Amino acid sequence: MTIRVGIAGLGTVGGGVLKVLAADAAHLAARAGRKDVKVVAVSARDKAKNRGVDLTSIAWEDNPIALASRSDVDVVVELVGGSEGTARELVSTALSNGKHVVTANKALLAYHGPELAAMAEKANVALKFEAAVCGGIPIVKALREGLIAYEISSLRGILNGTCNYILTEMEATGRAFNEVLGEAQRLGYAEADPTLDVGGGDTAHKLALLASLAFGTLPDIDAVDVSGIQNISPADIAFAAEFGYRIKLLGIAKRTSDGIEQRVHPAMVRARTPLAAVESSFNAVEVKAGEAGPFLFQGRGAGEGPTASAVVADIVDVARGAVSPAFGRPVAELKKPEKVMREGRISAYYLRFQVLDVPGVMASVSQHLADEGVSIDSMLQRGRSPGEAVSIVMLTHEAPHIAVERALKAIAASDKVFETPCMIPMETA
């Protein structure tokens, strides 16, 4: 029997899916145990655009929602994007009509995953989203199926290739964030509006999905504490290297006594460790799973080839008859995650102060930290510039986040401090 596919969205990923299915149809059908895996209908904004694939034998729908009602479509592939509007209507209509859905839309699932997963369960169809997180890395399948025999205690990873590219280039060239961001936009690594990437939102969407799969919780974007890389300077990157660290934007989820902690932020990662070694636009996820762990999953996190391959893998899974709960467990069994507030978090920290080089400044900074019970592990000060601004950099021992924040607020109130102090958590484990 042929598995019939309808694709909404023929951008980079959608075009890649068409190419893979056209080039490897016989091989994929054999792997799926089907006569054929065939694209029968598509929809996109521009019908005239050349996508490098012959579409003359494929039905065209101007309205993507129509794919969800076609009697000759078994699987709807949603590559439109966005958490609302067309994408949400297409997926919900397809599921209501008893069609399997494959999507690369992490925002849609981060905000509406439980609702859509429940619809899929009711209709006894698949809702698959391997391509939504880390492109070609099979991390969704690993968490949903491969690691179910182990209790996962934590996961952390580099989930956004744009941010990793920017931080890698800043480190290699010494250039400032805005300059490297502009280059990333020209090269196509960053969007014209990069806010979702550099602000940490894209990583948060992906983390919410991974945490759900790992810990049996409802995906809840509001439970994720988020900050981005916009304020990371070349000086921070250089100082990190002197201490033996690299700065990475991490998504982190872990079990704690207070609940499932979910956070996205720049972190100091010890150099020459697997996560620190991830370069450019690559992604990686480290999973600690009992006696079996840690596991490291690494690969290209975006782009036509990797993401299209993940979409096709999900289509083949559907063709094989793989229908299981989208988040690994029935929605009714998923628990709402408790938001673990950053104030109660305990970590060591990298701190950088831009201060006036006059007697007593160092003593004042140290005293404010001591007043909050924050002890200094090591410190750097480069040169002397009497009467001018200099950097003081410290690594602290572990301390409550709220205590460090209070100390920094008091330090920043001084007229001898010229910038908001920089505070970056250390990921030393």
> Which residues are known to be catalytic?
206
Q: CB within 8 A of 207, min separation 6: which ones?
A: 159, 224, 251, 252, 253, 262, 264
Rounded to whole angstroms, the Cα distance separating 88 from 84 reads 5
SS3 content of the chain, % helix, strand, coil (to 5): 40, 25, 35
Q: 357 and 404 in contact (C-beta within 8 Å)? A: no
DSSP letters spanning 138-160: -HHHIIIIITTTS-EEEEEEE--
Please tell me what DSSP assigns to residue 97.
T
Q: 140 and 114 in contact (C-beta within 8 Å)? A: no
Distances (CA, A) of 427 to 23, 155, 202, 398: 44, 12, 21, 11
Residue 10 corresponds to which tokens in the numbers above? 């023929």
- Nearest alpha carbon to residue 61 among 40, 75, 82, 81: 40
* Residue tagged 């590219």 (tokens): 165
Q: 166 and 280 in contact (C-beta within 8 Å)? A: no
Rounded to whole angstroms, the Cα distance separating 193 from 60 reads 30
Question: Within the chain, what is the greatest distance between any pair of CA atoms?
Answer: 82
**Angle at which helices 85-96 and 106-123 cross, to 10°:** 10
Distances (CA, A) of 251 to 23, 215, 254, 263: 36, 15, 10, 6
Q: Per DSSP, what are the bridge partners of residue 50?
A: none
Rounded to whole angstroms, the Cα distance separating 19 from 261 reads 40
Distances (CA, A) of 324 to 3, 98, 106, 120, 123: 18, 14, 19, 9, 12
